[in-house]
Amino acid sequence: MTPDSSSTVAHQQPATGVVRCPFCGALTTADLNAGNPDCSSCAKPVLIDRPMPVTDADFHRIIAESKVPVLVDFYADWCAPCRMMAPVLDDMARQYKGRLEILKLDTDRFPSVSNGLGIRGIPTLIAFHNGKEAARQVGAAPKAMIEKLLKPLLTAI
CATH number reported for the structural domain that contains residue 73 in this entry? 3.40.30.10
pLDDT of residue 14: 61
For the chain, how many structural domains are there in total?
Answer: 1
Q: Does 32 have pLDDT greater than 80?
A: no
Q: Domain for residue 83, yes or no? A: yes
Q: Is residue 146 part of a domain?
A: yes
Q: What is the DSSP letter of 4?
A: G
Catalytic residue among 21, 39, 42, 82: 82
Q: Residue 57 sits in which domain range? A: 49-155
Is 131 among the domain residues?
A: yes
33 pLDDT band, cuts 50/70/90, is: confident
Residue 16 domain-assigned?
no
Cβ–Cβ < 8 Å for 122, 82? yes
Residue 82 falls in the annotated catalytic set: yes
Of the candidates 31, 139, 11, the residue with the CA atom closest to the CA atom of residue 80? 139
Helices (H) and strands (E) in the chain, counts: 5, 7
Residue 157: what pLDDT?
A: 55
Summarised one tens digit per residue, pLDDT across range 84-143 is 999 999 999 999 988 899 999 999 999 999 999 999 999 999 999 999 999 999 999 999
